[in-house]
């Protein structure tokens, strides 16, 4: 994640990363040892059954492509950081990586 700001705090921070426990928890909920599938996956019921049996920790999104996942993270974190800083700071871009061959960057809309 790349952040920007309109002005620095009195301490000289654009963003105080020590205040990110909520973001860390949110990211862990969605992405730490989870199974992501599209909401229109033809096997969604199978995945729900596996989740109910505690075989997978299922998360369902409209679209789990790296591009849409980066956008999903961007939208949440940008809204959160703007609210936390009274719109002084904002998110410029998010990079998501599935592996060495599959990644996407979602940048702030101008």
Torsion angle of C-alpha atoms 102, 21, 51, 66, degrees rounded to 10: -20
Query: How large is the average pLDDT for residues 21-33?
Result: 95
Structure tokens at 63: 């679209």
- pLDDT value at residue 20: 87
pLDDT in tens, 45-92: 999 999 999 999 999 999 999 999 999 999 999 999 999 999 999 999
* CA–CA gap between residue 9 and residue 93 (Å, rounded): 21
- pLDDT value at residue 81: 94
- pLDDT value at residue 16: 83
Compute how many other C-beta atoms are within 10 angstroms of the C-beta atom of residue 89.
21
Q: What is the pTM of this model?
A: 0.90
By C-alpha distance, which of 101, 110, 81 is closest to 2?
Answer: 81
Query: Is the pLDDT assigned to residue 9 strictly greater than 70?
Result: yes
Whole-number average pLDDT of the chain: 93
Query: Is the pLDDT assigned to residue 110 strictly greater than 70?
Result: no
């Amino acid at each position: 994640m790349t952040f920007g700001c309109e002005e620095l705090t009195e301490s000289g921070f654009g963003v105080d990363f020590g205040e990110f426990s909520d973001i860390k928890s949110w990211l862990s909920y969605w992405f730490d040892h989870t199974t992501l599938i599209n909401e229109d996956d033809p096997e969604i019921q199978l995945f729900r059954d596996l989740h109910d049996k505690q075989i997978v920790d299922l998360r369902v999104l409209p679209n789990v492509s790296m591009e849409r996942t980066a956008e999903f993270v961007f939208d949440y974190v940008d809204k959160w950081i703007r609210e936390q800083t009274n719109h002084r700071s904002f998110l410029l871009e998010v990079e998501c990586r599935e592996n060495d061959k599959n990644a996407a960057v979602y940048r702030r809309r101008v």
